[in-house]
Amino acid sequence: MDVVRRNTRKYSFRCPALKELRKLASFMDDPKGFRDRFGRLLSVLSIDVEDSLLCTLLLPTMEEYTYLMGIQFSDRVPFSGLEGILESQVIAEAIHLKKSDVDANLTNKGGIRGLTLKFMIERASSFANADSMVAFEAILALVIYGLVLFPNIDNFVDVNAIRIFLVGNLVPNFLGDTYFSIHHRTSKGNGTIIFCVPLLYKWFISHLPQSPIFKENKGCLKWSQRLMSLTNDDITWYSSIYDK
Instruction: Enumerate the β-bridge partners of residue 13.
Output: 193
In which band, very low, low, confident or very high, does the pLDDT at 115 lie, cut at 50, 70 and 90? Answer: very high
* HSE-CB of 208 using CA atoms within 13 angstroms: 24
Neighbour tally for 129: CB within 10 Å:
10
- Of the listed ranges 27-36, 46-55, 132-141, 195-204, the one predicted with least confidence: 46-55
- State residue 113 phi and psi, 5-degree precision: -80, 155
pLDDT number for residue 242: 66
Q: Which amino acid is at 216?
A: E
In which band, very low, low, confident or very high, does the pLDDT at 51 lie, cut at 50, 70 and 90? Answer: low
Average pLDDT over residues 117-126: 97
In which band, very low, low, confident or very high, does the pLDDT at 54 lie, cut at 50, 70 and 90? Answer: low
Distance, first Cα to last Cα, the chain: 56
Residue 79 vs residue 17, higher pLDDT: 79
Tell me whether residue 141 is exposed, middle or buried, using C-beta atoms within 10 angstroms of its C-beta: 0 to 12, 13 to 18, 19 or more.
buried
pLDDT number for residue 23: 92
pTM assigned to the model: 0.81
- Say whether pLDDT at 77 is over 50: yes
Contact 49, 198 (CB under 8 A): yes
Average pLDDT over residues 89-105: 97
Tell me whether residue 212 is exposed, middle or buried, using C-beta atoms within 10 angstroms of its C-beta: 0 to 12, 13 to 18, 19 or more.
exposed
- Say whether pLDDT at 89 is over 50: yes
In which band, very low, low, confident or very high, does the pLDDT at 220 lie, cut at 50, 70 and 90? Answer: confident
Distance from C-alpha of 183 to C-alpha of 188, rounded to nearest angstrom: 9
Average pLDDT over residues 51-64: 66
Contact 15, 49 (CB under 8 A): yes
Query: Which of 33-37, 74-78, 226-230 is modeled with the greatest confidence?
Result: 33-37
pLDDT tens per residue across span 175-197: 888 888 877 777 777 777 788 88
Residue 85 vs residue 143, higher pLDDT: 143
Average pLDDT over residues 54-60: 59
Mean pLDDT (the chain) is 85
Residue-range domain boundaries for the chain: 10-206
Percentage of the chain lying above the pLDDT 90 cut: 40
In which band, very low, low, confident or very high, does the pLDDT at 223 lie, cut at 50, 70 and 90? Answer: confident
Contact partners, residue 193, CB within 8 Å, separation at least 6 = 11, 12, 13, 14, 181, 182, 185
pLDDT number for residue 204: 84
pLDDT tens per residue across span 152-179: 999 999 999 999 999 988 888 888 888 8
